[in-house]
């Protein structure tokens, strides 16, 4: 098990936790802006009872640790422990050595920066296999078993916590800006997550499909799958090529297709997740480090 724990992932998770904590302290706490999930609950208890979010973050996550151990596996559980403890440590550090960012007259800017920092931090943690506990674990489970977007799943849970915040310490104006921050954070999480799978899938129909496939394999070193199709209008069988390439390779792919057959039909779509040789495995079928 210890061999599966990568130092690179631990460092990245700690970096993500630091980014999250910086934004949480300097934008949410300094400007009395709410947040979703367990972090939002710690803010409710901080602004109403004065309890320390760094300590509450650990206490509230004990049940989530148990759930994470049973459902996420040992490796993900270890990364979750690291992420959660890192958040509490950095929250304590940034509360003690914080500096004031004077944005109290521009809550829209506060909401944008809060969303960006929280989303970027959590996105990095998620991308390297960790969570920061709480709703992060529930979102990760939903993504693992149902394929739900982590950002959108968290947004649903966040709405409940924001409503609780509105009933305790937020006024209507701050509540609306909190919604902006949470929405931006959810989008940034998805953006960081999708960055790991920046790929496009291409469907190519051409009378010169074999020549196109050969040139793609030769020049781009990408695999091509030949599917059997049937033209509805012509009533003739057709070969349909399917190829997945990196987002930055799309122009090159189109150039190759046009070189062989300028009249080829090409459909390119976004690929949200991709695994296998050329993306997560090298040519020796080993995981890309």
pLDDT band at 134 (very low <50, low <70, confident <90, very high): confident
Assess whether pLDDT exceeds 70 at residue 4. Answer: no
Q: Which of 100-104, 131-135, 151-155, 160-164 has the lowest mean pLDDT?
A: 151-155
> What mean pLDDT is predicted for residues 18-35?
93
> Could you report the per-residue pLDDT of 269-287, keeping only the tens digit for each?
888 766 666 555 656 555 5
How large is the angle between the packed helices 172-194 and 107-127, nearest 10 degrees? 30
Structure tokens at 20: 């999250």
Most distant CA atoms of the chain, gap in Å? 74
Assess whether pLDDT exceeds 60 at residue 39. Answer: yes
Note the pLDDT of residue 256.
92
Assess whether pLDDT exceeds 80 at residue 55. Answer: yes
Core vs surface per residue 231-262: b (16+ CB within 10 A) or e:
eeeeeeeebbbebbbbeebeeebeebbeebbe
> Could you report the per-residue pLDDT of 193-238, keeping only the tens digit for each?
766 556 789 999 999 999 999 999 988 888 899 999 888 888 888 8
pLDDT band at 6 (very low <50, low <70, confident <90, very high): confident
Across the chain, how many H-helices and E-strands are there? 11, 4
Q: HSE on the CB side for 201, CA within 13 Å?
A: 12
Assess whether pLDDT exceeds 80 at residue 261. Answer: yes
User: Order of strands across the sheet with 225-230?
Assistant: 225-230, 237-246, 199-205, 265-271
Structure tokens at 198: 């920046």
pTM metric for this prediction: 0.72
Alpha carbon 208 to chain centroid, angstroms: 39
Q: Answer with the residue of higher pLDDT: 19 or 276.
A: 19
Q: Which of 35-44, 186-195, 226-235 has the lowest mean pLDDT?
A: 186-195
- Structural contact between residues 226 and 213, judged by C-beta atoms closer than 8 angstroms: yes
Assess whether pLDDT exceeds 60 at residue 141. Answer: yes
> Could you report the per-residue pLDDT of 60-101, keeping only the tens digit for each?
888 878 776 766 667 778 888 899 999 999 999 999 998 888
Q: What percentage of the chain reaches a pLDDT higher than 70?
A: 88
Structure tokens at 78: 């270890």
Structure tokens at 143: 């993504």
């Amino acid at each position: 098990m210890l061999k599966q724990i990568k130092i690179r992932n631990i460092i990245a998770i700690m970096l993500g936790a630091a980014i999250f904590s910086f934004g949480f302290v300097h934008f949410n706490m300094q400007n009395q802006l709410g947040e979703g999930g367990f972090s939002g609950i710690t803010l409710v208890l901080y602004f109403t009872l004065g309890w320390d979010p760094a300590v509450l973050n650990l206490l509230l996550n004990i049940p989530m640790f148990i759930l994470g151990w049973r459902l996420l596996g040992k490796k993900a559980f270890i990364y979750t422990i690291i992420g959660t403890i890192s958040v509490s440590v950095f929250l304590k550090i940034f509360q003690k050595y914080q500096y004031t960012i004077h944005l109290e007259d521009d809550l829209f800017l506060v909401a944008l920066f809060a969303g960006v920092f929280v989303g970027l931090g959590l996105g990095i943690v998620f991308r390297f296999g960790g969570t920061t506990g709480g709703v992060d674990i529930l979102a990760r489970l939903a993504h693992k078993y149902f394929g739900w977007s982590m950002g959108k799943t968290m947004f649903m849970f966040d709405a409940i916590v924001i409503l609780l915040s509105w009933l305790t310490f937020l006024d209507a104006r701050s509540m609306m800006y909190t919604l902006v921050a949470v929405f931006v954070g959810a989008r940034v999480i998805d953006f960081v997550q999708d960055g790991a799978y920046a790929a496009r899938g291409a469907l190519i129909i051409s009378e010169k499909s074999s020549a196109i496939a050969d040139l793609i394999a030769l020049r781009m070193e990408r695999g091509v799958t030949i599917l059997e199709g049937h033209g509805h209008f012509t009533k003739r069988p057709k070969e349909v090529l399917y190829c997945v390439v990196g987002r930055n390779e799309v122009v090159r792919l189109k150039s190759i297709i046009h070189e062989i057959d300028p009249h080829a039909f090409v459909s390119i779509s976004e690929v949200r997740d991709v695994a296998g040789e050329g993306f997560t495995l090298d040519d020796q079928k080993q995981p890309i480090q």
